Structure 1
Amino acid sequence: MTSRTSFAFVGFGFRARTIWRLAAELPDVTCVGAVVRTPRELPLPRFASLADCLASARPDFLVTALPASANAEILVEAVAHGVPVLSETPPAPDLAGLRRLWSAVGAAGLVQVAEQYLLLPAHAARLAAVRSGIIGTPTQVQVSSTQLYHAVSLIRGLLDAGHAPATVRATRTVAPLVDPLNRAGWTDDPVPRPASTTIATLDFGGGRSGLYDFTDNQTRNQLRFRRILVRGSHGELRDDEITHLPAPRTVLRSPLVRRQIGHDLDLNGFHTETISLGTEVLYRNPYPQHRWNDDEIATATLLQATAAWVRGAGPPPYPLAEGAQDHLVALAIEEAADTDRTVTTSTEDWSGPARTGSKG
């Protein structure tokens, strides 16, 4: 019989509702309530304070779904009670907040960060391909897809940059763009409005670099392509295709192929089944019984990984040190763009010598 691990939310907004819905479909996690201080109707038990929740529901871990300005305070309180936490991104609003948070809770090792982008099926497959060595040593990652710390997580993870200091240069421009979709759905607004684009270069040293390119609402605006490029010593990955050198005088282009069932007369479901490279399966969907999109798959994967970690049955999914480093670099991107000056990140207390070259 599958052991079930319980959790409770602190805060209950858009993101928490998604996690709550997914958790109801998972065999090894159960949600026991949410801490929401302002009385309102919820689809689960409500607690007015964290202390009330811990005393009454006794969750095995917490999931925070709060603005960055309020998140750190709850993390400190939870760790004081000895309760593991999966924290919203970013874990604190600014560098001073990150430093205070790490000083207060870093040594406890009880905080993970809800950074799911490397768990999205397409990104997980790309990461597996890069780590297979097919393009040699990765030297540059370019991301035009999602914002700040999420993009930094992709760059650092695919590049294996660890906590190496980053020298950041950035520019910001504004141009008109139609915005047909947002979090609420179709806007039905055909009028182009000013949209800001930030482009930054990140130099991690040792020949490793990144390029960040993000336009306002690009995560949801389907009028902007999502682009990812990983350059290596022996080839290059571009979105879902790889050029590489498998033998002397032999350059091949190999596609990453997603098997999406449910089309035409493939009636065995409607979901992503695998992502493969030639005869090798790089990614296999762990939830084939569900019609989940990529973000839902990644979020469920992260939630289950957190539960396994809490039970002592798995590694920490994304430690606070990694989430703090992502936001440290993201803050440097914003500062460089705002000031038109080069910014170099410092070595922080969460970045020990073992972390400067690899996240492993």
Structure 2
Amino acid sequence: MVKYIVVGYGWRAQLFYDLAKYSPNQFQVVAGVVKSQERINQIKHERGIFATVDLDQALSLNPDFVILCIPRPIMKDYIIRLMEKGVPVMCETPPGKTTAELNQLYLKQQQLAGKVQVLEQYHLWPFYQSLLNITKSGIIGEVQNITLSALHGYHAISIFRKILGVDMQNCSILGQQFIHQVTKTNSRQGFSYDGEILEQKRDLVTFSFDDGKAAIFDFTSHQYFSTIRTRRVTIQGTRGEVNDMTVRYLNKDNKPVQEEINLYYLGTNNISGLYNHSVSLGDKILYENPTMPARFNDDEISVADSLLKMRDYLAGGAEVYSLKDGLQDAYLSFLMEESLKTKQLIQSQSQSWATHN
């Protein structure tokens, strides 16, 4: 059982309550921390879970860790407050709003030896974890570049760094933004069928890393929910490439092979619970769902996996997603936003978390 406190009750915080609702044998929200009596009443009515405005009262219930789902401007101070109390933290959003704040937070974490992990879940999605396993297997050779049109900001940068294996390397960043139109289809509020035309921002950004590897970021503002703006990914290596669901590579005799990535879902055309069971490439299993048989979508699977890994980390295991990695993702996303605004080439510089051993 993973027991945690959730601070905040916005759209994203709902996910952590849902995990406990749909997999009560694995997850438990011991308390919610919110900013008003109105929110306390809402959580009691909607979730039947204890909530309070008093963080110390919630901590008295002895959670394994605290999940922060709060706005970026107050994230750094909240993390420091919890570190000073010796409480482990998972932060859901970028942990600061400026590069200076990111450096301040890192130095404070070093002083306090705080146990802080970042809830950057996309590398644990069944699909993206499968891509990572393909690249780690070596079948497409050394990875040279990646083009991704699926995730925004720091989430995409996380995948770039993981796939390319660039860690804390510096890079030059050049961005350009276009405004186009798209028909509204789906959103957080649900489906729309009235044909309304919306403005859509399309961001195109190149990342050129110091070792010669490169990433191309391509994201549109309605892409997460739109039914007519789909995911695209290309990863090129010295001996092959991944093009969305197709993998082309050379075998040991240098002859070309083509295989398809297969996402196997239970609950499709049968009566099993609906969830991702595994991902394969030919006869090779790339990924197996650690949360089975919970009926989670792929994002819920990845977040649940993050919480399970946080439990293991606190018991002495490997980090889930380190604060250093989260800080680097956020820093590069700040530079990306600056380049999109100015249309200027920007060079990253090594920050405190990249130079400290």
Q: TM-score, normalised by structure 2?
A: 0.93
Specify the SS of the correspondent of 1:258: strand
Q: Which residue of 2 aligns with 1:31?
A: 29
Specify the SS of the correspondent of 2:353: coil
1:141 paired with 2:146, answer yes
Specify the SS of the correspondent of 2:147: strand
> Is the Cα contact below 8 Å between 1:177 and 1:192 reproduced in 2?
yes
Q: Which residue of 2 aligns with 1:226?
A: 231
Q: Quick one: distance in 2 between partners of 1:204 and 1:345? A: 10
Q: Quick one: distance in 2 between partners of 1:181 and 1:167? A: 35
1:82 paired with 2:86, answer yes
Per-residue deviation, 1:29:
3.7
Q: Quick one: distance in 2 between partners of 1:127 and 1:176? A: 34
> Is the Cα contact below 8 Å between 2:83 and 2:114 reproduced in 1?
no
Per-residue deviation, 1:88:
1.3
Per-residue deviation, 1:60:
2.3
- Greater shift, 23-32 or 60-69, is seen at 23-32
Per-residue deviation, 1:277:
1.1
> Is the Cα contact below 8 Å between 2:291 and 2:305 reproduced in 1?
no
Residue pairs, 1:164-203, within 5 angstroms: 164-203=169-208
Per-residue deviation, 1:291:
2.1
Q: Which residue of 1 aligns with 2:99?
A: 95
- Gaps of at least 5 residues in structure 1 are 355-360
Query: Structure 2 counterpart of 1:260, which letter?
Result: Y
Residue pairs, 1:24-173, within 5 angstroms: 24=21, 25-40=23-38, 41=41, 42=43, 43=47, 44-54=49-59, 56-107=60-111, 108-173=113-178
Per-residue deviation, 1:91:
1.2
> Is the Cα contact below 8 Å between 1:106 and 1:320 reproduced in 2?
no
Q: Which runs of 4+ in 1 moved over 4 A?
A: none
Q: Quick one: distance in 2 between partners of 1:249 and 1:64? A: 50
Q: Which residue of 2 aligns with 1:282?
A: 286
Per-residue deviation, 1:326:
0.5
> Is the Cα contact below 8 Å between 2:246 and 2:258 reproduced in 1?
yes
1:16 paired with 2:13, answer yes
- Could you report, residue by residue, the CA deviation over 1:156-187 in whole angstroms, capped at 9, with x for unpaired residues? 11111101011001101101111211112113
Per-residue deviation, 1:353:
7.1
Q: TM-score, normalised by structure 1?
A: 0.92
Structure 1 residues 260 and 59, CA, compared in 2 at 3 Å: closer, same or farther? closer
Structure 1 residues 173 and 16, CA, compared in 2 at 3 Å: closer, same or farther? same
Query: Structure 1 counterpart of 2:100, which letter?
Result: A
- Gaps of at least 5 residues in structure 2 are none
Q: Quick one: distance in 1 between partners of 2:292 and 2:92? A: 27
Specify the SS of the correspondent of 1:130: helix
> Is the Cα contact below 8 Å between 1:197 and 1:215 reproduced in 2?
yes
Per-residue deviation, 1:271:
2.4
Q: Quick one: distance in 2 between partners of 1:91 and 1:188? A: 38
- For residue 341 of structure 1, the aligned residue among 335, 339, 344 is 344
> Is the Cα contact below 8 Å between 1:8 and 1:61 reproduced in 2?
yes
Report the aligned-residue RMSD: 1.6
> Is the Cα contact below 8 Å between 1:89 and 1:323 reproduced in 2?
no
Q: Which residue of 2 aligns with 1:358?
A: none
Q: Quick one: distance in 2 between partners of 1:189 and 1:231? A: 40
1:331 paired with 2:328, answer no
> Is the Cα contact below 8 Å between 1:29 and 1:307 reproduced in 2?
no
Per-residue deviation, 1:28:
4.3
Q: Quick one: distance in 1 between partners of 2:268 and 2:96? A: 43
Q: Quick one: distance in 1 between partners of 2:247 and 2:217? A: 21
Query: Structure 2 counterpart of 1:303, which letter?
Result: L
Q: Quick one: distance in 2 between partners of 1:304 and 1:189? A: 42
Q: Which residue of 2 aligns with 1:210?
A: 215
Q: Which residue of 1 aligns with 2:253?
A: 248
Identity %: 28
Specify the SS of the correspondent of 1:242: strand
Q: Quick one: distance in 2 between partners of 1:36 and 1:91? A: 19
Structure 1 residues 10 and 122, CA, compared in 2 at 3 Å: closer, same or farther? same
- Could you report, residue by residue, the CA deviation over 1:19-73 in whole angstroms, capped at 9, with x for unpaired residues? 122134153442210111211221221121222322x322221000001111111
> Is the Cα contact below 8 Å between 2:3 and 2:63 reproduced in 1?
yes
- Could you report, residue by residue, the CA deviation over 1:312-342 in whole angstroms, capped at 9, with x for unpaired residues? 3x21100111011011111111111101111
1:350 paired with 2:353, answer yes
> Is the Cα contact below 8 Å between 2:94 and 2:326 reproduced in 1?
yes
Residue pairs, 1:306-325, within 5 angstroms: 306-312=310-316, 314-325=317-328
